[in-house]
Structure formats: C-alpha cells, structure tokens
Amino acid sequence: MRNRNVLRELLTEGKPTIGTQVINVSPQIVEVVGHTGLFDYVQLSGEYASWTLPDLDNFARAVELFPAMTAVMKIEDDPRTFITRRALHAGMQGVLFSDCASAGDVAECIRAVRPATPEDGGTNGCALTRDVGFLGAEVGGEAWMQAMRDSHWMDLDEVVVAESIRTCSKMPTNRVLNPTVSKAIHIRI
C-alpha cells in the first residue's frame, strides 16, 4: 500500500509544510528532490506538464523511495474526474484541484476522490491498480478508503469561496474547512 501521507499529517496537525512543484515526470528529478531531505511533498503540476498514464506510476514509485515525502498532483479542470482517479490509483497520495469556479465544481472534485460508500458520498470505486498492489488484497478496505478521504485539497478563486464553503460544509465529511488566504484560497477538506 502507500507510504504515510506526511503532507496530510502535517496539515492535520496545523504545522507548516514545504514542497516543490515540477513540470517534468522524470523519476530522476523526483529522486534528486527526495535526496535533499528538504521537502514534505513534491507536486506534479499536471496542468502544465506533459505526461502519460505510465508516467504517473513511475513518478509515484520514485516518491515512494522517500517515506518522509508525499506525492501530489495538481489536476486541471477537464477531464478532472478521469485524471484524478488515474493519479490516485497510480499511487499519488494527494490531488490539488485547480480552476474550481463554482460550488458545483468543488462538490464534483470531492465526490471524484471520496470512496463510493453511502457515508462518504463519493463516486471513487475500487480497482485492481498500483495503489493496492494490483492483486486486490487491500481493494476497498478501510485503509484504502481512509487514504482516499485524506487525499484532496482545493485551490479556489476568492470569488467562489463563500458559496463553496457553504455547499461543501453540507457534504459528508470528517474534516473541518480551514481556509487560509494568499493569492489563491487553499482549503483543506
């Protein structure tokens, strides 16, 4: 299964994090970043990078060499659900959604990540993919469901923040929304 989600642990504890963004899927770049020991996460900026589905597997494999680092992918707005699932099933431990222009966009992103259970309200079903070792021993188990619950963040335009917070606070969640304002709004759900 996956390494610890160090980024999620630090965010949950309210601690600062440091990461880097890359637009190259080279596992060698990931290893150089990991060997510095300076970063809590490495983010593949998927909306700007050129990548294939096997590249996502190899990127996640390289991050797994460093148990104190988390793999994150920034997801572009279309086709959001497909890319999200492929990234998570490749082994990415987090996804950052960009270009959420409405509360409906935010709700769609949350549903795409959350397990397809009545209590989670998501649409993400289990698959025999890399994140569970292809063999299915952990498919749909509690550890997998918790990993999906812990794997998403939003990048929202300030204009839609109030509407989105109201809408998302009504969705099934065990997270408190903690917005922090900078150039963009980052909300941990």
pLDDT of residue 179: 40
Q: Say if residues 80 and 97 touch (Cβ distance below 8 Å).
A: yes
Angstrom distance (rounded) from CA 171 to CA 34? 36
**Residue 52 CB: number of other CB atoms within 10 A?**
9
What's the pLDDT at 175? 43
**Residue 123 is assigned to a structural domain of this protein:** yes
Rg, Å, the chain Cα set: 15
10-residue stretch averages of pLDDT, the chain, 189 residues long = 80 89 95 96 92 94 94 87 87 83 81 82 72 62 72 53 55 43 39
The CATH number linked to 28 is 3.20.20.60
The arrangement of strands across the sheet holding 152-156 comes to 19-22, 41-45, 70-75, 94-100, 152-156, 185-188, 178-181
Helix or strand holding residue 115 (H, E): none
The range of the structural domain enclosing residue 43 comes to: 6-188
Residue with tokens 């917005």: 179
Report the pLDDT value the prediction gives residue 161, as an integer from 0 to 100.
Answer: 53
CA distance 125 to 1: 16
pTM, full prediction:
0.75
178: which residues sit within 8 A by CB, 6+ positions away?
187, 188
What's phi and psi for 98, nearest 5 deg? -110, 165
The tally of domains found in the chain comes to 1
Task: Say if 99 falls within a structural domain.
Answer: yes
Instruction: From residue 90, give the alpha-carbon distance in Å to each of 103, 110, 159.
Output: 27, 18, 33
Q: Which residues contact 167 (CB under 8 A, 6 or more apart)?
A: 103, 104, 106, 107
Does a structural domain hold residue 177? yes
Q: What's the confidence (pLDDT) of residue 35?
A: 97
Taking the CB of residue 139, how many other CB atoms lie within 10 A of it?
A: 16
Question: Would you say residue 118 lies in a domain?
Answer: yes
1 lies in some domain: no
Q: Are 138 and 132 in contact (CB under 8 A)?
A: yes
